[in-house]
Amino acid sequence: MKLNDEENDILAGKAGPVPQQALQHQIKVGEFFGAEDLVPVTQAHLMADTESLGEAGVRWLEGLVAGTDGQRRVRIPTITDPRGTDFAKADLLGQTSAMLDLERRAISAFEALGVAMTNTCINYQTIQAPTRNEHVAFGDTGVVIYSNSICGARSNFEGGPSALAAGLTGRTPRYGFHLPEMRRATLRIQVEFTPTSLNGWGALGGVIGRIAGNYWAVPVIEGIEGAPKSDQLKHFGASMASFGSIALFHLAGLTPEAGQLSDVAAPGLPSLCVTRADVDELQRSYHTDDGVDVVVFSAPQLSLYELSDLAELCDGRRFTVPLLAVTSPQVKPDADRMGYTARIEAAGGSVLSGMCFYQSYAREISEAKGWKRLATNSAKLVNILGGYGYRPMLASMEACVDAAVSGKLART
C-alpha cells in the first residue's frame, strides 16, 4: 500500500505504539483486499459488546491503555454501538456480576482511549447522520447499510478492532465501498408490493439479502411506492445486512446515488422479482409455535416514534409474559419525558437503554430466564437468535403486544 509521510511516521512508531499497532492492522486488512492506499475518515463507530470481546478482547484493550508512550486517544469522533447490558436492568435479564464487571472494564478502557460511549446502533437517527460521499468507518452492519444507502456515505463493515484502528489513525484502507466503481449495482430486484409494517420491511430486506447473497453484491431495487420512512428503511437495511451481509443497496428514484436506474445499473444486469408471497413465506417460516415466553423489540434500537407507537398499543393492557423494548441512551430520556416509558411499563413491559438484545449474552439470558419462544417485529433479530437456542418468531408490533397479553402469537 502507498503511504504518505504522516502514515509512514505512524508506521515507524513516531506517534507511539498504539497508532502504530492500529496502522499495522489496517495494512494487513488493506493488503488482503488489494487496497492501494488509505482514505481519511471523519467518524468511527465501534461495535464492542463484551460477549464478543470476551476476557481476551478486554485484556487486549487494557493493553492498549496501559502504555504511556505517544498518542493513546482517538483522533476523530469515535462512538460506540450498544453495550452488553443496561446496568439498571441487568437483574431482569439474569446477567451475572462477572458479565457486568467485564463490561465495566471495557467501558473504562474505551474511555481512556477517548471513545465516546454513545452505545447506539441508530446513530444516524440520534447522533449525527453522515453526508453524501463522507468517508466513515462504521461498525454495525445496520449502521453501515443505512449510511451507505440512504445517506450516500462511504463505509465498509468495520468490525470493532478496525473501527478502533480508524479512530486512532483517522483513516482506513481504501477498498470496497470507498471506491465509486464498487458502489454500482450488481443485480436488479423488482418488488411487486411495498410493505407498511416494520416487520414487513424487515422481511422484504431479508428476502433480498438472501437473494443478493454476499458482501460484494449491490442490489438496486425497483417498484417501491411512495417515500419510505426512516424506521422502515432502518429495519429493511438491518435485515438485508443480517441475512445477506449486504452493505449497500439502491432504491431507484429514491436513494441519493440512484436518481435514475441508469445512474447505478449497467444494461444487462441479472434481474429478479420479489413477490408478496416471498415475504409472507419468510415470516411464516419462523412461526414454529403458538406460545410465547418473551416479547422483544430491539435490533435495531427503537426510535422515539417506535416507542410512541408501542406506548399507544400498551395503553389499557396487562402483560402475562415479559415485554422488553430496547432503545438508545439518547432516546430513552425523551421517552421518559414524553411518558412513553411509563405507559409501556404500566402494562408490565420494560424499557431498556444502551444495549441490544442479541449483543447481551442472549444464550445465557435464555438459560437464566427460561426464554425460548421469542416474538419480535425485528427480522434481523429472528435471523440471529436461532443460533442462540431460541425459537424466534416474526410478527407485527401489534401482534407481538397481543402476544404479551395472551401468551399466544396469532397466526396470520
In the set 158, 257, 278, 402, which binds another protein (CB under 8 A)?
158
CB of 394 closer than 8 Å to CB of 377: yes
The answer to whether 309 contacts another protein (rule: CB under 8 A) is no
Q: How far is the CB of 82 from another protein (least distance, A)?
A: 12
Q: How far is the CB of 351 from another protein (least distance, A)?
A: 24
Q: How far is the CB of 285 from another protein (least distance, A)?
A: 10
Each residue 57-86 as x (binds another protein by CB under 8 A) or -, in order, gives: x--x--------------------------
* Shorter beta-carbon distance to another protein: residue 32 or 305: 32
Where do the H-state alpha helices sit in 33-159? 50-66, 90-93, 97-112, 123-126, 141-146
Do you find a cis peptide bond into 300, omega within 30 degrees of 0?
A: yes
Q: How far is the CB of 126 from another protein (least distance, A)?
A: 19
DSSP state of 297: E
DSSP secondary structure of 344-360: HHHTT-EEEESB-GGGS
Half-sphere exposure of 18 (CA within 13 A, CB side): 25
* Shorter beta-carbon distance to another protein: residue 139 or 228: 139
Coil, helix or strand for 78?
Answer: strand
Closest alpha carbon to 168 in 59, 75, 99: 75
Q: If 0-12 CB within 10 Å is exposed, 13-18 middle and 19+ buried, where does residue 54 land?
A: exposed
Each residue 195-234 as x (binds another protein by CB under 8 A) or -, in order, gives: ------------------xxxx------------------
* Shorter beta-carbon distance to another protein: residue 228 or 244: 244
The answer to whether 94 contacts another protein (rule: CB under 8 A) is no
Q: State how far the Cα of 192 lies from the Cα of 155, in Å rounded to an integer.
A: 30
Q: How far is the CB of 28 from another protein (least distance, A)?
A: 4
Per CB under 8 A, the segment of 258-266, 336-344, 371-379, 382-390 that binds another protein is 382-390
Per CB under 8 A, the segment of 1-9, 122-130, 183-191, 381-389 that binds another protein is 381-389
Q: How far is the CB of 24 from another protein (least distance, A)?
A: 9
CB of 298 closer than 8 Å to CB of 235: no
The answer to whether 176 contacts another protein (rule: CB under 8 A) is yes
CB of 77 closer than 8 Å to CB of 137: no
In the set 48, 107, 168, 264, which binds another protein (CB under 8 A)?
48
* Shorter beta-carbon distance to another protein: residue 271 or 285: 285
Assigned C-alpha cell, 62: 487494557
* Stated length of the chain: 412
* Shorter beta-carbon distance to another protein: residue 207 or 313: 207
In the set 4, 8, 52, 320, which binds another protein (CB under 8 A)?
52
Q: State how far the Cα of 183 lies from the Cα of 269, in Å rounded to an integer.
A: 14
Q: State how far the Cα of 148 lies from the Cα of 157, in Å rounded to an integer.
A: 10
Q: State how far the Cα of 274 lies from the Cα of 276, in Å rounded to an integer.
A: 7
Query: Footprint of another protein on this chain (CB under 8 A)?
Result: 25, 28-29, 32-34, 47-49, 51-57, 60, 139-141, 156-162, 176, 213-216, 241-245, 247, 358-359, 383-384, 386-387, 389
